[in-house]
Amino acid sequence: MTKVLLAGPGAFGIKHLDGIRNIDGVEVVTLVGDQPEQTRAVAQEYGIGHVSNDLTQALADTDADAAILCTPTPQHAAQAIECMKAGKHVEVEIPLADSWAEAEAVMKTQRETGLVCMVGHTRRFNPSHQWLHKRITAGQLNIQQMDVQTYFFRRKNINAKGEPRSWTDHLLWHHAAHTVDLFAYQAGSPIVAANAIQGPIHPELGIAMDMSIQLRAENGAICTLSLSFNNDGPLGTFFRYICDNGTYIARYDDLFDGKEDAIDVSRVDVSMNGIELQDREFFAAIKEGREPNASVASVLPCYRVLYNLEQQLEC
């Protein structure tokens, strides 16, 4: 039985708890949150016997083998390092960090400890993107261009459940991270060129609400990514794969061809839930003593690209 400490019982923490319910041999033994009433309520709903408002204390008080971190972005790197130094395998939600220096520090600790450290790059696990990845690696498809839209209507500091946030989300370090990593992963080629421009800075949030990014892989594939917190329309991230042998549109776990005919991806994996599949990979890597897909080592190049883009945007 793998015993788990989960920190952050908010919107994404609950997604992980829902996914773990479907995985045999795993038990969440501790729930950590900074809002005691909410944390206790979620713990009761999911049958978790121990709650805490302090990660350090929770690491000392429980015998968890692993930690899943669904906490605010600015805490990700430091908490991942703390958990590994406490002897715990770690799955940290995207983004790994919001600076290149912190991302490197997490990588250094993983190498020193030898523990599993995995990052929540869920797009690698969504059945839609898995379907395409299997055909790309089999030589049946080659990406010519990816056209990606990441759109939300978030002019106030709220989370995915519509609740106030204590920290500010970021188009570059969070939302662009999904696509920058996925593009290199699907193209099977490192990113060698990256450009970015951004719109006006929000007077209260202090971040750009609109951004445009261009990428080119070493093998010649290109990607155009448009991001916005100003879009009052369909919300989410939509991927158009323009390949040498077909066009495909991925919307989370669903996939369509270029003519909008649905493609059955229900048999790609054991679940249609990308978060659950991500968690299954984490626990399997622990059990099998191997590096997981979306390990910190495999996603680290993404954060180097984000850092380079940040330098452009600050010029």
Rounded to two decimals, the pTM is 0.95
pLDDT at 155: 79
Contact residues for 67 (Cβ-Cβ < 8 A; gap 6+): 4, 5, 6, 7, 59, 79, 83, 88, 89, 90, 91
CATH among 3.40.50.300, 3.40.50.720, 3.20.20.190, 1.10.287.130 for 2-122+275-293? 3.40.50.720
Q: How far apart are CA 285 and CA 282, in angstroms?
A: 5
- pLDDT grade for 59, boundaries at 50, 70 and 90: very high
pLDDT at 166: 63
pLDDT at 160: 59
Answer yes or no: are the C-beta atoms of 124 and 182 closer than 8 Å.
yes
Locate all alpha helices (DSSP H) within the chain, ordered by sequence: 11-20, 36-46, 55-61, 76-85, 100-113, 127-137, 177-187, 274-288, 296-314
Burial (CB < 10 A; 0-12, 13-18, 19+), residue 290, is exposed
Judged against a pLDDT cut of 70, whether residue 161 lies above it is answered with: no
- pLDDT grade for 165, boundaries at 50, 70 and 90: low
As a whole number, the mean pLDDT across the chain is 95
Q: Where in the sequence of the chain do the CATH 3.30.360.10 domains occur?
A: 126-268
pLDDT at 233: 87
DSSP annotation of 171: I
Question: Taking CA 70 as the corner, what is the angle to CA 67 and CA 76, rounded to the nearest 5 degrees?
Answer: 80
Judged against a pLDDT cut of 70, whether residue 276 lies above it is answered with: yes
Is 126-268 CATH 3.30.360.10? yes
Q: Where in the sequence of the chain do the CATH 3.40.50.720 domains occur?
A: 2-122+275-293
Query: Once rounded to an integer, what is the mean pLDDT over residues 76-97?
Result: 98
Query: Once rounded to an integer, what is the mean pLDDT over residues 251-268?
Result: 96
